[in-house]
Structure 1
Amino acid sequence: MRAAATRRRGFATAAQLVQQPRPRLVSEGEPPVLICLPSFVAGSGAHQFARLATCFVRRPQASALVLPGFEAAGAIPARWDAAIAVLAAATRSAAADNPFVLVGYSVGGILAHAVAQLLAEFGRPATGIVMVDTVNPEPADRESAFAWALGGVLDRDVGGRLVSDSNLSAMGAYLGLLDEWEPGPVTAPTLMVRARRRSVVADWPTWDVADTVVEVPADHFSILAEDSPATARAIEDWLPR
Structure 2
Amino acid sequence: MLREAGTQGTSGEFMDLLMQASRFRPSFASPAGLRKAPSLVRLSRGATGAGLICFSSILSISGPHQYSRFASAFRGRRDVHAMAAPGFVRGEQLPSTTEAVVEAKAEAVLRHADGAPFVLLGHSSGGIFAHAVAGKLEEAGVFPEAVVLIDIYSHDDDAILGIQPGLSAGVDERQDTYVPVDDNRLLAMGAYFRLFAGWKPEAVKTPTLLVRAQEQFFDWTRATDGDWRSYWDLEHTALDVPGNHFTMMEQHARTTALAVEEWLDARP
Q: What TM-score, normalized by structure 2, do the two folds share? A: 0.83
Hey, what does 1:20 align to over in structure 2?
37
Conserved 8 A contact 2:155-2:200: no
| Greater displacement, 203-212 / 98-107 | 203-212
CA separation of 1:14/1:22 partners in 2, compared to 1, >3 Å: closer, same or farther? Answer: same
Q: SS where residue 137 of structure 2 aligns?
A: helix
Of residues 56, 59, 62, the one that matches 2:80 is 62
The residue that corresponds to 2:94 in the other structure is 76
Gap change, CA 1:121 and 1:160, over 3 Å in 2: closer
Once the two structures are TM-superposed, the CA of residue 142 in structure 1 deviates from its matched residue by 3.0
**What is the root-mean-square deviation of aligned Cα atoms in Å?**
2.0
CA contact (8 A) 2:163 2:220 kept: no
Secondary structure in 2 matching 1:60: coil
Contact 1:189 1:211 in 2 (8 A): yes
Structure of greater relative contact order (alpha carbons < 8 Å, 6+ residues apart): 1
Q: Is the 8 A contact 1:137 1:145 kept in 2?
A: no
Q: CA contact under 8 A between 2:28 and 2:95: conserved in structure 1?
A: yes
In the alignment, which residue of structure 2 is the partner of 1:196? 214
Q: 1:131 aligns with which of 138, 149, 172?
A: 149
Matched AA of 1:164: D
Tell me which residue corresponds to 1:184: 202
Instruction: Give the corresponding residue for 1:112.
Output: 130
Cα distance 1:57–1:69, how it changes in 2: closer, same or farther (>3 A)? closer
Q: What is the letter of the counterpart of residue 87 of structure 2?
A: G
Q: 1:25 to 1:205 in 2, by over 3 A?
A: same
2:230 is matched with: 206
Deviation at 1:215, TM superposition (A): 0.6
Q: Deviations over 1:99-144 (max 9, x none)?
A: 0100100011121101100000011111100011111464355356
> Do the aligned partners of residues 211 and 130 (structure 1) sit closer, same or farther apart at CA in structure 2, a change above 3 Å counting?
same
Map 1:206-225; keep pairs closer than 5 Å.
206-208=230-232, 209=234, 211-225=236-250
Greater Rg over alpha carbons, structure? 2
Amino acid at match of 1:178: F
| Cα offset, 1:71, TM superposition | 1.4
CA distance in structure 2 between the aligned counterparts of 1:34 and 1:183, rounded to whole angstroms: 21
Secondary structure in 1 matching 2:129: helix
Residue by residue over 1:43-91, the C-alpha shift from the partner in whole angstroms, topping out at 9 and shown as x without a partner, is 1110011111111375210110010111111000010111111111111
Which ranges in structure 2 are unaligned for 5 or more consecutive residues? 1-17, 222-227
Q: Is the 8 A contact 2:215 2:242 kept in 1?
A: yes
Q: TM-score, normalised by structure 1?
A: 0.92
Deviations 1:13-64 (A, max 9, x none): 2211121011111111124110001110111110011111111375210110
Contact persistence 2:65–2:178 (CA under 8 A)? no
Closer, same or farther: CA 57–166 of 1 in aligned 2, 3 Å:
closer
Bigger mean CA offset, 113-122 vs 22-31:
22-31
Counting matched residue pairs gives 241
Q: Partner amino acid for 1:207?
A: Y
Report the CA distance shift for 1:218/1:85 in structure 2 as closer, same or farther (over 3 A): same
> 2-side partners of 1:210 and 1:55: how far apart?
27
Q: Distance in 1 between matches of 2:164 and 2:235?
A: 22
